[in-house]
Structure 1
């Protein structure tokens, strides 16, 4: 006479092994994405423009504040001429825009002595 537990065991074993195989989901190994480039990498053109624009703008702002000329950052010749451009770094348009933005920030800091 067979034990009812033995019969149940032999019926349950095939169900356990087939349950994992009957899954409709297929999983594939996906490698992790490549690392992102550092966000602090600034092109040399923009770095040069920002450095020069801020330096020249802060000097001009300090000069205008000392003379009592009033806040006039866009009247300075350097704002329009954007000195320090080197064609070896790249196109002029991005340099001009970065220079003028940094110039205005520098002028503000120099004029208000912040």
Structure 2
């Protein structure tokens, strides 16, 4: 059996092409499951509730009496009432309280 000059390169190319097309399984590791829904810590939830309520009361009072928009001058903003040491440290409570206070004050003062 005699191969022509054209047949040999064609057979070689077909063999290489078929070998390159062999399927190789691809395995991958599945990522970790998503973290569970993060709930708000009780300390922050309480600060948010107390701060918003206090800010809304003071904002409504200032708007009604015509005192002007001055939320950082109110005593409750500085004293941050409602803190319970059993729930956690004071710093995060104070920050969350003041943020919520300003939201409540603005909403109530501007009637939003």
- Do both share a fold (TM > 0.5)? yes
The TM-score with structure 2 as length reference comes to 0.75
Per the alignment, residue 77 of structure 1 pairs with: 75
Gaps of 5+ in 1: 1-11
Aligned to 2:30: 31
Q: Gaps spanning 5+ residues in structure 2: where?
A: 1-13
Structure 2 partner of 1:94 = 92
- C-alpha deviation, 1:17, in angstroms: 8.4
Question: Given the alignment, which residue of 26, 42, 45 partners 2:43?
Answer: 45
Give the C-alpha shift of residue 97 in structure 1: 0.3
RMSD of aligned residue pairs (Cα, Å): 2.9
Q: CA deviation at 1:29?
A: 4.0
User: Structure 1 stretches (4+) deviating beyond 3 angstroms?
Assistant: 15-21, 26-29
TM-score (norm 1): 0.74
Residue-pair matches, total: 102
